[in-house]
Structure 1
Amino acid sequence: MTSTSPPPPLGTALTLLLATATGLAVASLYYVQPLLGLLSTQFGVGSAAIGLLPTLTQLGYGVAILLLSPLGDRYDRRRIIVIKAAALVAALAFTAAAPSFAVLCLASIAIGLAATLAQDLVPAAATLAPEAQRGQRVGQVMTGLLLGILLSRVAAGAVAAVAGWRAVYAGAALAVALLIPLLWRGLPRFQPATQAGYGELLLSMARLWTTHAPLRRAALAQGLLSVAFSAFWSTLALVLAGSEFGQGSAVAGAFGLAGAAGALVAPLAGGLADRRGPQAVIRAGALLVFVAFAAQALAPASLWLLVVVAVVFDLGVQAALVSHQSVVYSLDPASRSRLNAVLVSVMFAGMAAGAALGSALLASFGWRAVPALGAAAALGALAITRRR
C-alpha cells in the first residue's frame, strides 16, 4: 500500500487465503504433540526428554513474537510474510530429514521462530478489511488459526499412522510452499506505520507493560491458562499410549476434533463479552478450565472423560483469550500490534512452561499429576482476574 494507491478490498478469496495460511503456520507448532510416542521410541528417549520438543517449539514462538512482531510496524508486511513463509518451509523440511534427537530439537526451535508468520497475517487482515467488515474478516482469519491449532493434531496423527512421522513434516512443508506465490501475488505492499528504530520499538513494548495494569493481568492470566492447555496437549499422546489407555498416534490426533468443537463455539464469547463485559467471560472461562482438569484428576481413568475434558477446557481457554484480546485492544488503538505481541509472547511462554512441567510431572508422578497442574494454573488465573 502506498499513499497514492489505496489497498484493494479484502474479498472472500483473499480472506480464505489468509485464513488458510494462518492455520497452516500455527499448525506447525502442534504437529509434534500426537507424535511424541513415536518419536520417543525412534530416538530412544524418555517422556521427560521428549517433552523438550514441544517446549522448544513454543519457547521459540514466544521469543520470536516478542522480538520479531514489531518489525511489522517498521517494514512492508508483505515482504515479512513471504520471508517467514520461506523460512517455515525450510524448518519443516529440516525437521522431516532430522537424523538425530539433537537435530530435531534445533528444528523445533526453527519451527517456532518461523511460525510467527501467523501473527503477521492476522494484522494484515485487520489492515486490509473495510472498517464496516473488520470484525467479521478478522474473525474469519482467527477461525483459520484456531482450526489450525486443533486440527493439526488430527492430521499429524492420521498421516503418521499411515506414512510415518517424517511424512507429516514433509507434507506440511509442501503445503506452505504452495501458498508462497499466492501470498506474494494476492497481498499488496504495506506502508510502514513508523520509522522508529528496532530498539525503540522494543522499548515501547516495555513501556506498554509498565503503563497498563490490565495488560499485565490479561497476559499473566492467559499465560497461566496456557500452562494448563499445553500441559494437556503436550502429554496426551504419551498418556494415551500408556497402560491405562493403550492407544496410538491416530487416536491422539483425533482428540483435535474434540478440541475443535470447543474452539468453534468460543468466538461466541466475543458477543457475550460485549453484553456482560469481558471480565465475566474471562472468569467463566477460567472456571471451566479448573472444573475440567479437577474432574480428570479425581475421576477414574476414562477415554470418554478425556474427550469431554478436551472440549470443556478448550472452550474455556479460547473464551478467555477472545475476552482478554478485547481488554487489551481497547487500551491503546495506536499500539495494538505491540499490545498483541506482549499478550501472545507471555501466552506462549506459558505454553512452553506447560509442556516442560507436564512432561516432568508425567515422568515423575504419573498422568494424574498433569490435570492437577492444569487445575492449579486455572485457579491462579482466576485469582489474577479478581485483582484490580
Structure 2
Amino acid sequence: MGDHGSLSGGRLPLKAMSPASALTRSLTIVMAITCGLLVANLYFAQAAIGPISAELGIGAGAEGLVVTLIQFGYAAGLLFIATLGDLVENRRVVLVTTAIAVVGLVGVALAPNVATFLAASFVVGVVSVGAQVVLPLATHLAPVEQRGRVIGDVMGGLLAGIMLSRPYANFVTGLLGWRWVFAIAAVLIAALWVVLWFTLPTRKPESGIGYGRLLSSTFGFLGRSRVLQRRALYQALAFGAFNFFWTCAPLMLHGTFEFNQFQIALFALAGAGGALAAPISGRLGDRGHARAVTGVVFALMAAMFLVTDWAVAVQALVPLVGAAVLIDAATQANQVAGQRIIFGIDPEARGRINSAYIFVNFLGGATGSLLAPFVYHVAGWQGVALVGAGVALFVLLVFATERLDRRHREQLAASA
C-alpha cells in the first residue's frame, strides 16, 4: 500500500507483532464479544425509555435525553480516548476503560434522580469506546486478504450486542425493573475484564507525536480525506435513521399494538437478525463490492421505512418485523463496507481514522435519538417513516455523485 502522505497527519510506526499475538479464531471471538458487550451499554436506556422516564419524572417529548446523553458521551470518548489507540499501549486502554464502565453502570443502576442517571450514563458512554480500540487492533492483527472478513466478524459481535441489548433490556425490565438491566450488565462487564486480562495481546505504537497533535490529526484526516468524509456522512445518516426507528419503536408498539415489555422484547429480538449482514458485507468488501453494497442497502432502507408506514397503519405485524430486520441489516452492512474502505487510507493511523468515522456516525445517531420522540409525538409513526425514507434517499443522491468527484476517485484508488 502506498505512502499517502497528504492524508497521514503524522504516522505512528508500529512495533512488530509477536507470533503469540497472532489473530486466532478464539481471539477473534473474544474481541467480537468485547465489542458487543461494551456497545450494548449504549442501548439499554433506549429499550427501557418508558419505565426510566416514568420513574425519574422525565416528561413526554424529552425522553430522548435518556438515550442521547450516553451517545454524546460515546462521541466524546471517540475523540479523547479511542484515538489513544495510536499512541498508548492498546491492551491498557481497553482494560482501563472496561473497568470504569463497570463503575459507571453501577452508578446508573443506583441513580436516585435524573441528574445522577444522566451523569453516570455519560461516563458509561465515554468509556464504552474501548470497543473502538479493539476493532482497529483486530484489523492490525489480520492478514490483508482477510481484513474484510475479520472486520465483519468483529463488527458482527458489536452489532449483535446493539441488537440484543434491546430484547435483553426489555425482558429484564419486565421481570425485575430497569435498574437490574444495568446492574447485571455491570457484572457481565466485570467478568469480561477478567477474560481480557488473560487473552488480549499487547500492541504498543511507537509514538511519533504528542496527544495534542494526535487529536488535531484526527480532524485532519476528516478534513483532507474525501473518502472518509463521504463514508462518515453515509453512515451518520444511516445510523440517525436507524436510531429514529428504534427510539420510537417501543413507543409505537406500546401505543398502537398495545405491547407490554415482553412483547416489545420479542420484537427487538427478531430485529437482531439484521446483525447477520455484517460478516456478509465484510466478505463482499474483500471481493471489491463495497460500493455496490452501499447503493443496495440505502435503496433497501428507503423502501423498508415506507413498508413500516403501511404496516403500522393496518397493524400488520409480520411485515413490520421483516422491515425492522432489513433496516437493521442495511445499517450494519453499510458500516462494515465503510470501514473496509477507510482502513485502507493509512494503515498506521487506523485508530484515529476509525475514531473520526465513528464520531461522525454517533453524532448522527444521537441527533436521530434526540429528534425522534418529538417527531413521533407531533406526526406519529408516519412522520418517523417518511423522515427515515427521506434520509435514505438523500444518501442515495449523494452517493450517485461519487463518480463525478475526481478527488474522491483518486484517493479511493490510492487506498485500495
Same fold (TM over 0.5): yes
- Cα distance, 1:198 vs. partner? 1.0
- Cα distance, 1:302 vs. partner? 2.9
In the alignment, residue 63 of structure 2 is paired with which amino acid?
I
- C-alpha RMSD of matched pairs (Å): 2.1
Tell me how far apart the structure 2 counterparts of residues 286 and 2 of structure 1 sit (CA, whole Å).
40
Q: Summarize the Cα distance change of 1:49–1:142 in structure 2 as closer, same or farther, 3 Å threshold.
A: same
In the alignment, what sits opposite 1:70?
83
Tell me how far apart the structure 1 counterparts of residues 328 and 396 of structure 2 sit (CA, whole Å).
16
Q: Which residues of structure 2 form unaligned runs of 5+?
A: 1-13, 406-416
- Cα distance, 1:3 vs. partner? 6.2
Q: Summarize the Cα distance change of 1:189–1:275 in structure 2 as closer, same or farther, 3 Å threshold.
A: closer
CA contact (8 A) 2:174 2:262 kept: yes
In the alignment, what sits opposite 2:194?
181
Any residues of structure 2 matched to 1:1-388 within 5 Å, and which? 6-129=19-142, 134-242=147-255, 244-275=256-287, 277-299=289-311, 300=313, 301-387=315-401, 388=405
- Cα distance, 1:86 vs. partner? 0.8
Q: Which range moved further: 253-262 or 112-121? A: 253-262
Structure 2 SS opposite 1:336:
helix
Q: Summarize the Cα distance change of 1:34–1:284 in structure 2 as closer, same or farther, 3 Å threshold.
A: same
Q: Which range moved further: 58-67 or 5-14? A: 5-14
Q: Summarize the Cα distance change of 1:272–1:125 in structure 2 as closer, same or farther, 3 Å threshold.
A: closer
Q: Which residues of structure 1 form unaligned runs of 5+?
A: none
In the alignment, residue 158 of structure 2 is paired with which amino acid?
L
- Cα distance, 1:23 vs. partner? 1.0
In the alignment, residue 249 of structure 2 is paired with which amino acid?
L
CA contact (8 A) 1:2 1:190 kept: yes
1:330-357: CA deviation from partner (whole Å, max 9, x where unpaired): 2222322221111111111010000011
Normalized against structure 1, the TM-score is what?
0.93
Tell me how far apart the structure 2 counterparts of residues 4 and 79 of structure 1 sit (CA, whole Å).
16
1:84-126: CA deviation from partner (whole Å, max 9, x where unpaired): 0011001111110011122212122112111111111122223
Tell me how far apart the structure 1 counterparts of residues 82 and 176 of structure 2 sit (CA, whole Å).
36
- Cα distance, 1:233 vs. partner? 0.9
Q: Which range moved further: 189-198 or 310-319? A: 189-198
Tell me how far apart the structure 2 counterparts of residues 263 and 188 of structure 1 sit (CA, whole Å).
26
1:265-307: CA deviation from partner (whole Å, max 9, x where unpaired): 3432333345563222101111111111122224523332321
Q: Which range moved further: 329-338 or 166-175? A: 329-338
CA contact (8 A) 2:105 2:185 kept: yes
Structure 2 SS opposite 1:63:
helix
CA contact (8 A) 2:152 2:280 kept: no
Q: Summarize the Cα distance change of 1:274–1:126 in structure 2 as closer, same or farther, 3 Å threshold.
A: closer
CA contact (8 A) 2:155 2:336 kept: no
In the alignment, residue 339 of structure 1 is paired with which amino acid?
I
Tell me how far apart the structure 1 counterparts of residues 47 and 264 of structure 2 sit (CA, whole Å).
5
CA contact (8 A) 2:281 2:333 kept: yes
Identity %: 38
CA contact (8 A) 1:9 1:130 kept: no
- Cα distance, 1:138 vs. partner? 4.0
1:55-111: CA deviation from partner (whole Å, max 9, x where unpaired): 111111122112221111111111111110011001111110011122212122112
1:28-48: CA deviation from partner (whole Å, max 9, x where unpaired): 111112211211222232332
Q: Which range moved further: 350-359 or 178-187? A: 178-187
CA contact (8 A) 1:153 1:254 kept: no
Normalized against structure 2, the TM-score is what?
0.87
Structure 2 SS opposite 1:47:
coil
In the alignment, residue 270 of structure 1 is paired with which amino acid?
G
Tell me how far apart the structure 1 counterparts of residues 193 and 388 of structure 2 sit (CA, whole Å).
38
Tell me how far apart the structure 1 counterparts of residues 201 and 286 of structure 2 sit (CA, whole Å).
33
In the alignment, residue 213 of structure 2 is paired with which amino acid?
E
